[in-house]
Structure 1
Amino acid sequence: MAYDPNNIFAKILRGEIPCKKVHEDDHTLAFHDINPQAPVHVLVIPKGAYVSMEDFTARASDGEIAALFRAVAQVAEMVGVTAEGWRMLANVGANGGQEVPHLHIHVFGGRRLGPMLVKG
């Protein structure tokens, strides 16, 4: 999957599409998902043009990598899911269910989330 500079997250980063922001720093942006799959569903994205986790870990600076993972933990705390438990998920590629060609980490919480995968 190639990076598409016109993907929805790139447009959000450029301010062309609004978002309900949760957190922002020099390297990351976190915002509520427009189609939440749990009571709490926030997306955390790097501000750089990275397609996937493989692309990000190969090309991002150590500072960008640290900032992304710190932001995920900060967001979980900010949205109040750390006491009861939460899940982070990054889909990679077609078989992994990735729909937008910009690395994004989902933060889910607010209820019991169930099994990781459906058997089959």
Structure 2
Amino acid sequence: MENVILLVHLMLALALIGVVLMQRSEGGGLGMGGGGGGGLVSSRGAASALGKVTWGLAIAFIATSITLTIIAAENAAGSSVVDRITDAPAPAATPVLPDSGDSLLPPSLDGNAPLVPQAE
């Protein structure tokens, strides 16, 4: 169910972006104000229709956002990140290496032991 709501949410987001980009610039902030059109639909009527579509998409987007938040809160089931960290098992102890004396080289390279195992 969560995946379906998430898919609808993403489609609403894309549709909302598209509708907002189709709207005419009122202030001409970029210097590209829409021109007046003489068609079947006046520019004022088209603007109000796009405004209503924008409002509808925005309300649906907010509703899916709240729904996804509620579903995520139910799936959390009262556990927090801190609880998960404290419940984690302790790390294993680091292995103890055998004492090699004063040499920093492994026993096969420190000169006292042969590099190639001797055949018996």
TM-score range, shorter chain: under 0.3
Q: Larger C-alpha radius of gyration, 1 or 2? A: 2
Q: TM-score, normalised by structure 2?
A: 0.26
Higher relative contact order by CA 8 Å / sep ≥ 6: 1 or 2?
1
Q: TM-score, normalised by structure 1?
A: 0.26
- Which one has a larger percent helix, Structure 1 or Structure 2? 2
- Which one has a larger percent strand, Structure 1 or Structure 2? 1
